Structure formats: structure tokens, C-alpha cells
Structure 1
């Protein structure tokens, strides 16, 4: 889940594509029943990971 990979350039081509990619991302992170591992390079994570972290802490 590195920045630049998620969302991809293809996802950024239109607001609709970006919304759909973000929706699919959130669907995928809510599917695991016990555990979810998200892998990214140090200090190079997707902005969606930061948003997900804030939401999980109740800041959003």
C-alpha cells in the first residue's frame, strides 16, 4: 500500500474512478474476520492508510 501505487494513476483519471477505488479499498479492509496485514514501505504509505488509521482511532 505504497503512495503512488494505491490509488493508482488509472484511479486518479476521474473522480468516479477514484471514488470506486476508495470504495473497493474500504470493502477489502472490512472483510477479514480476525486479522488484516497492510504492507508498505517505511514513510511511503498511501494516504488512505493514514485516513484508515485516523478512523480506527476515532479521530474522523
Structure 2
């Protein structure tokens, strides 16, 4: 895939195989430097529940 910027008007339908190829072509400086395991991610998630006012980040 060429490294060009293109305008997209409206929703874009994308096959998973094409999305994977796009993700694989990310420049090295944008690749994640720290990898997390599924367990580490699960442990850091908040308790399941609804979204509320306390979840908003409002500056005063």
C-alpha cells in the first residue's frame, strides 16, 4: 500500500485482511514499544458497569 494520504467521504468498508495489511505498514516510530499480556490488560480494567458522570473528565 502506498504511503499516501487520501480523502474519504462517508463510511469506508474495509475487509479485515486489508486492515491487517494497513496496520502492518505502520512506521517504526509509531509501533508500540511496550507489549501487554491479556492478563495485564484485564487486571487494569475497571469493574463492569454503566457509564456515569464520574467517568467524565471535565475541567473546572
Larger C-alpha radius of gyration, 1 or 2? 2
Both proteins in one fold, TM over 0.5: no
Higher relative contact order (CA 8 A, sep 6+): 1
Q: TM-score, normalised by structure 1?
A: 0.30
Q: Which has the higher helix share?
A: 1
